């Protein structure tokens, strides 16, 4: 039986673990403060009082031991957001014990955060610590009610795959050269799929997502089709439950986060270099030193982009736009070229005004632009990503007409009203920081799948479906030996509050 004092300590720990630390000069928060919350890369945030802050005094130590007593392999990466705040992210490469997270002032030795857990703490690759979806959403403080999900799913009274499967398989296999889809089934936490169409390489994004989620939570039984292309496919005339990376005003697809931001959520501190966290730590110029021009660079994947380049050639004093690769309009290279050598995405933020222009569909760079600290000019579009409906023109971004007729005037207006421009840029950044971080992306999928499962009348593994299983990424695959869940105890105590 716990004594009163031990119960109090556990209660205090629970409060601090999930809510972080809020003191007069320091705020620490984020899902990575509790390493029992499994993420591909765990992370948390540290915000100091700007007047009292000295970067030289900031110290973070994340460490642990292996079962044999050796130092646990943990990669820690600190991203300076240039506003007296930091992102601390870390990735485990083996199971850790005696795990500690220490945030302190090196000069005064004041410990702002001192977490200890006896372990085991599992890497993301281990399938050892599943919880319910509700528990995961609660622990990560992800939302449990999202209007876009509700609107997408409420088109259906129910989904009966005994009736709809044959229709969807036939309908989406009619044009294998232009349309590719995969039929997925999750049954008893096992994953199966069968794909239709010639170009099915993008199935890897959904495979990796489902495998990752399946290691973290108990997924409900699911059956659904995924559109592997960019263009939305589901028509109101033929209402099919089709999951897509992108939506449009003329389709009824169930919209997921794009494959791009999904991969960046799964692979940050992995094989991707551009993700929602790394952007925040790689912006060099503060607002006052940014180049006061509109900037855009990218592929020739729409006529609007070509028109933008032409506009830039005539107005180079306030606009810098260029094509990096001519693929769709090679015959127009002489007029709109020459093709420019790409620069690092992080260098985009040297400019004060950044343009988001549609390609073949919505420009999937938009989340990364928002989370930076430049002002975003967004072209009106018939296409949308999963979060667009929550953004407000003139609050989170500057809206630009579809044909860019008003772009130059809008840049002039913002150049003459720097205070408003800065306010809008910070609003957009705040939204992206709070709703588009990696755990938010995974949380969106979990809420979507959980709510969608309630519409299904049955789930069936059908003939000729392939099992989707994890495969080793390298000969040095992380060994995972799961241990029994420990009894509730005093093993997790913050020694400094």
Domain ranges of the chain: 21-127, 147-256+439-467, 273-435
CATH 3.40.50.2000 fits 273-435, yes or no: yes
Q: Output the pLDDT for position 14.
A: 39
Long-range contact list for 476-479, CB < 8 A, 24+ apart? 477/125, 478/93, 478/94, 478/123, 478/125, 478/126, 479/94, 479/95
Fold classification of 21-127 (topology level): Immunoglobulin-like (2.60.40)
Q: Output the pLDDT for position 20.
A: 72
Q: Let me know: does 354 contact 376? Beta carbons within 8 Å.
A: yes
Q: Which of 352, 348, 244, 223 is nearest to 296 (CA)?
A: 348
The Cα 231–Cα 228 span in angstroms is 9
The Cα 492–Cα 86 span in angstroms is 25
Q: Which of 416, 359, 367 is nearest to 396 (CA)?
A: 367
Q: Output the pLDDT for position 1.
A: 37
Q: Which of 381, 414, 452, 491 is nearest to 154 (CA)?
A: 452
Residue 314: enclosing H or E segment and its boundaries? helix 303-314
Q: Output the pLDDT for position 486.
A: 59
> What is the value of pTM for the model shown?
0.92
Tell how far CA 2 is from the center of its chain. 41
- State the 10-residue block means of pLDDT for the chain, 497 residues long: 34 47 83 94 90 78 95 95 93 96 87 90 93 96 97 94 91 87 96 95 96 96 96 88 96 96 95 94 96 96 94 96 91 87 96 97 97 97 97 98 97 98 98 98 98 96 93 66 66 43
Q: Output the pLDDT for position 211.
A: 96
Q: Output the pLDDT for position 178.
A: 85
Please name every residue paired with 101 in a beta bridge, in sequence order, or none if there are none: 62, 115
Degrees (nearest 5) of the Cα angle 319, 299, 368?
Answer: 75
Degrees (nearest 5) of the Cα angle 48, 52, 55?
Answer: 65
The Cα 16–Cα 34 span in angstroms is 10
Q: Output the pLDDT for position 240.
A: 92
Q: Which positions ≥6 away from 472 have C-beta within 8 Å?
A: none
């Amino acid at each position: 039986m716990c004594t009163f004092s031990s119960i109090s300590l556990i209660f205090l720990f629970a409060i601090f673990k999930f809510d972080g630390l809020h003191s007069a000069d320091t705020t620490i928060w984020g899902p990575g403060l509790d390493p029992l919350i499994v993420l591909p890369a765990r992370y948390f945030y540290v915000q100091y009082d700007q007047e009292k802050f000295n970067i030289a005094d900031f110290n973070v130590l994340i460490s642990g031991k292996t079962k044999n007593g050796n130092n646990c392999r943990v990669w820690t990466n600190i991203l300076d957001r240039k506003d007296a705040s930091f992102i601390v992210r870390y990735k485990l490469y083996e199971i850790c014990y005696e795990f500690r997270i220490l945030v302190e002032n090196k000069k005064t030795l004041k410990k702002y955060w001192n977490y200890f857990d006896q372990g085991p703490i599992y890497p993301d690759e281990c399938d050892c610590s599943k919880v319910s979806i509700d528990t995961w959403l609660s622990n990560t403080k992800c939302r449990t009610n999202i209007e876009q999900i509700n609107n997408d799913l409420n088109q259906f009274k129910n989904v009966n795959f005994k009736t709809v499967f044959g229709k969807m398989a036939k309908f989406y296999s009619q044009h294998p050269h232009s349309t590719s889809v995969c039929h997925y089934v999750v049954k008893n936490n096992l994953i199966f799929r069968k794909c239709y169409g010639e170009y099915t390489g993008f199935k890897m994004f959904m495979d990796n997502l489902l495998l990752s989620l399946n290691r973290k939570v108990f997924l409900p039984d699911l059956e659904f089709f995924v559109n592997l292309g960019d263009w939305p496919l589901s028509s109101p005339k033929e209402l099919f439950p089709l999951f897509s990376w992108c939506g449009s005003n003329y389709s009824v697809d169930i919209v997921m986060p794009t494959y791009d931001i999904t991969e960046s959520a799964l692979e940050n501190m992995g094989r991707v270099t551009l993700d929602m966290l790394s952007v925040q730590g790689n912006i060099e110029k503060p607002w006052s030193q940014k180049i006061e021009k509109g900037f855009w660079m990218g592929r020739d994947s729409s006529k609007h982009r070509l028109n933008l380049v032409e506009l830039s050639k005539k107005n180079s004093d306030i606009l810098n736009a260029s094509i990096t690769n001519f693929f769709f309009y090679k015959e127009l290279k002489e007029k709109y070229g020459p093709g420019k050598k790409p620069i690092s995405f992080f260098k985009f933020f040297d400019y004060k005004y950044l343009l988001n222009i549609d390609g073949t569909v919505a420009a999937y760079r938009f989340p990364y632009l928002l989370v930076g600290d430049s002002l975003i000019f967004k072209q009106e579009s018939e296409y949308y990503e999963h979060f667009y409906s929550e953004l407000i023109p003139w609050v989170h971004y500057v809206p630009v007409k579809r044909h860019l007729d008003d772009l130059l005037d809008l840049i002039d207006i913002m150049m003459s009203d720097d205070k408003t421009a800065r306010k809008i840029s910070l609003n957009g950044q705040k939204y992206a920081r709070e709703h588009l971080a990696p755990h938010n992306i995974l949380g969106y999928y979990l809420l979507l799948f959980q709510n969608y499962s309630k519409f299904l009348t049955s789930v069936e593994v059908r003939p000729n479906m392939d099992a989707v299983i994890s495969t080793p990424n390298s000969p040095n695959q992380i060994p995972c030996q799961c241990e029994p869940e420990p009894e509730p105890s005093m093993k997790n105590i913050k020694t400094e509050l």
